[in-house]
């Protein structure tokens, strides 16, 4: 089963702040998550919840939350936009 993102909270944050993503399939590495083109620093994860920090050097703007599956060699847009 692949990754499914149900919710992202908050959708607006500052560099260094924590973002929580809920859904399914997060404990199945190797999936990488990105805001735009920046890989996220994961703080913790389980099968249903992923917590990460917004990069401190990320410029201001609105960026899609994307995950990349190394097994499937593809990137998938989650349809969530995070504003920094």
Q: Is the Cα dihedral 39, 36, 68, 33 positive or negative?
A: positive
Q: How far apart are the first and last CA of the chain?
A: 31
Whether the model clears a pTM of 0.85, i.e. scores above it, the answer is: no
Domain ranges of the chain: 4-83
**pLDDT per residue rounded down to tens, the chain (84 residues):** 578 899 999 999 999 999 999 998 887 655 788 888 888 888 898 989 989 999 888 889 999 998 887 666 667 788 899 999
Residue 41 phi/psi, 5° resolution? Answer: -90, 105
- Assess if CATH 3.40.50.280 describes domain 4-83: no
């Amino acid at each position: 089963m692949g990754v499914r993102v149900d919710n992202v909270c908050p959708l607006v944050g500052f560099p260094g702040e924590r973002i929580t993503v809920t859904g399914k399939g997060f404990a199945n590495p190797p999936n990488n998550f990105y805001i735009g083109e920046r890989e996220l620093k994961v703080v913790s994860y389980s099968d249903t919840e992923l917590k990460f920090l917004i990069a401190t050097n990320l410029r201001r703007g609105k960026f899609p939350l994307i995950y990349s599956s190394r097994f499937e060699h593809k990137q998938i847009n989650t349809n969530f936009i995070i504003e920094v």
